[in-house]
Structure 1
Amino acid sequence: MASLDEDPFVVHRNLLFTVAYQLLGSAGDAEDVLQESWLRWSSVDRSEIRDPRAYLVRVVTRQSLNHLRTVSRRREDYVGEWLPEPLLTSPDVADDVELAESLSMAMLTVLETLGPAERVVFVLHEVFDVPYDEIAETVGKTPAAVRQIAHRAKGHVSARRPRVRVVRSEHEDVVERLVTALNTGDLAGLMDVLAPDVVAVADGGGKARGAATRPIVGADKLARYLVGGMAKAGAGLRAAATWVNGQPAIRMELDGHLLGVASITVADGRVTQVYSIANPDKLTRLDHVAALSR
């Protein structure tokens, strides 16, 4: 009898979590999906399964689809802007450029604009290289229909995703400049690192004081908002560099207590977008590194 460590579900758990998280944008919902999938897996006749990895991906995907329909209704009542739940990641996740890009807040936010079927098809094919015929079996459509969905989803994502792929060193440099400007209250330094048309979106969920409820557009407005917020909070508020969703990001702490994280997109050495998550319900997984794979 095989040990638990040899069970295909355990062997592929990091992959299954990554699939569910990318489909749902929520680590909590992804864990729920994995629990449900484990129950289904534990009751199946393993002797009839030729490819456990593919089978488990199908199970997790179907459970994620069920959750997608539920969470879409739940998010309609969300207070303010909704952003994906951030994950603390190790720097080596960035070594897989395509995985890191697919995990980024910018990409996950774009995926939120897709319908459930489009999101599933795009993520499975573009990120995890699942063949169209396997996806068709998973979503209950013909391979031809899946190809059409994939073409439509890819065009939708391409029109909205960041157009410039930034090297890791440049992204880290911009984060360091932003951290320094924030901690010193350097308005000019902030203006220098922010693109003129920068857009900042904050997710406080109605539970975080000071979180902007609407997007802030423009370097001048955002720089003054940030400097004012840092000054109001006092010397105990500090920014630090961290890694979130496979990219360099910023961690905000007040007297050592985590207040939020900010993920950024970069172009030409400047910040073009800021995704700030301060809802305390979404910060619970930032004390340990997420195990991700594809």
Structure 2
Amino acid sequence: MTTRSGPDAIMSERRQLINLAYRLLGSLAEAEDVVQETYARWYAMSRRQQEAIETPGAWLRTVAGRICLNLLGSARARRETYVGEWIPEPLPDRTEWISAAVDPADRVTLDESVGMAFLVVLESMTPAERVAFILHDVFRYPFAEVAEVVGRTPAACRQLASSARRRIRDSRPTATPAAQRAGVVRDFKRAWEAKDIDALIGLLDPDATAIADGGGLAVTFPHPIEGAGRIARAWVEIARRRPGTMAFLERTVNGQPGLVARQDGVIVTVFAFEVAGDRIKRIWVVRNPEKLRRWTTG
């Protein structure tokens, strides 16, 4: 008979923990480390201690949340030494993970709460705001459980989530249907391949911004590029310099329409977009190979 604290019941929480930790940290590699540490703490307890825990799932979520909170506290210091801009790790569509052997429990559910624009806003929050908001607004945990993770009162956690919610609301662009977003990205790809500066400018918001993350491991532009004209010229230059073996392909990036650059069968760059109406407001370019390990080679 399987008990509530038996191996099957405990391991069934893994996918939820991976989804939680990725949204809290913006890094799947770090999320996997958090989940591994959470299970290590569970199995370090005696059987009697495990059976004394009334709700093992809540215990696992609390421990994982606290580990993430501690990591978020040190993340800003670590990112001060990061080479160039830091962008959350992009995720491919569930059908395109680098290995068919990857456990489905390690695949993040792709919805609005993992969109690149959403994750970037989360980066602007304090660790406590981010944890309170994700636990309550995304995963619907009661504030009493959130308080156990954050180490504050339920009332204080309610205020933290409210503050985070305002940040999300203030930064959210006008809602654009998925098919329209995909069409804008597709048109951008065509104009890019045609090296059509005027068409590119027409698809970009006048105040658009492009940010790249090479992590010191791949060549890319070191500072954000601002303005439709500057971005269009930079992208035409990229098209002119691309090797003959490189192709630009449409792909889903964090559940949203995006592009990838594939060279000699290997995906070397992932492009995520924020689209508002019929214009692109932001482009995120990820070239750090450590953040592209989840992408297929085909």
Aligned to 1:239: 248
Aligned to 2:137: 126
SS at match of 2:111: helix
Unaligned 5+ runs, structure 1: 92-97, 289-294
Looking at structure 1, the residues matched to 227 and 264 of structure 2 have their Cα atoms a distance apart, in angstroms, of: 30
1:65 is displaced (CA, Å) by 1.3
Q: Aligned ranges for residues 1-294 of structure 1 at < 5 Å?
A: 2=2, 7-44=8-45, 45-90=49-94, 100-160=111-171, 162-209=172-219, 211-287=220-296
Contact 1:5 1:11 in 2 (8 A): no
Residues 282 and 54 (structure 1), Cα distance of their counterparts in 2 relative to 1, 3 Å cut: same
Looking at structure 2, the residues matched to 33 and 46 of structure 1 have their Cα atoms a distance apart, in angstroms, of: 19
Looking at structure 1, the residues matched to 2 and 79 of structure 2 have their Cα atoms a distance apart, in angstroms, of: 42
Contact 2:272 2:283 in 1 (8 A): yes
1:186 is displaced (CA, Å) by 2.6
Contact 1:122 1:154 in 2 (8 A): yes
Spell out, residue by residue over 1:109-165, the C-alpha distance to the aligned partner (whole angstroms, 9 max, x if none): 1111111111100111111111111101222211111112222222233223x2322
SS at match of 1:29: helix
Contact 2:110 2:254 in 1 (8 A): no
Residues 90 and 175 (structure 1), Cα distance of their counterparts in 2 relative to 1, 3 Å cut: farther
Partner letter of residue 107 of structure 1? F
1:37 is displaced (CA, Å) by 0.4
Residues 245 and 83 (structure 1), Cα distance of their counterparts in 2 relative to 1, 3 Å cut: same
1:5 is displaced (CA, Å) by 9.8
Looking at structure 2, the residues matched to 235 and 5 of structure 1 have their Cα atoms a distance apart, in angstroms, of: 55
Aligned to 1:95: none
Looking at structure 1, the residues matched to 142 and 241 of structure 2 have their Cα atoms a distance apart, in angstroms, of: 53
Looking at structure 1, the residues matched to 188 and 70 of structure 2 have their Cα atoms a distance apart, in angstroms, of: 40
Looking at structure 1, the residues matched to 22 and 57 of structure 2 have their Cα atoms a distance apart, in angstroms, of: 17
Computed over aligned residues only, the root mean square deviation of the Cα atoms, in angstroms, reads: 2.2
Residues 237 and 188 (structure 1), Cα distance of their counterparts in 2 relative to 1, 3 Å cut: farther
Looking at structure 2, the residues matched to 248 and 126 of structure 1 have their Cα atoms a distance apart, in angstroms, of: 24
1:24 is displaced (CA, Å) by 0.7
Q: In the comparison of the two structures, how many residue pairs are matched?
A: 280
Contact 1:241 1:250 in 2 (8 A): yes
Looking at structure 2, the residues matched to 249 and 8 of structure 1 have their Cα atoms a distance apart, in angstroms, of: 37
Partner letter of residue 37 of structure 1? T
Q: TM-score, normalised by structure 1?
A: 0.88
Contact 1:90 1:246 in 2 (8 A): no
SS at match of 1:200: strand
Looking at structure 2, the residues matched to 5 and 89 of structure 1 have their Cα atoms a distance apart, in angstroms, of: 32
- After alignment, is 48-57 or 105-114 more displaced? 48-57
Contact 1:80 1:203 in 2 (8 A): yes
Looking at structure 1, the residues matched to 236 and 251 of structure 2 have their Cα atoms a distance apart, in angstroms, of: 20
SS at match of 1:124: helix
1:206 is displaced (CA, Å) by 2.0
Residues 5 and 83 (structure 1), Cα distance of their counterparts in 2 relative to 1, 3 Å cut: farther
SS at match of 1:7: helix
Looking at structure 1, the residues matched to 54 and 282 of structure 2 have their Cα atoms a distance apart, in angstroms, of: 45
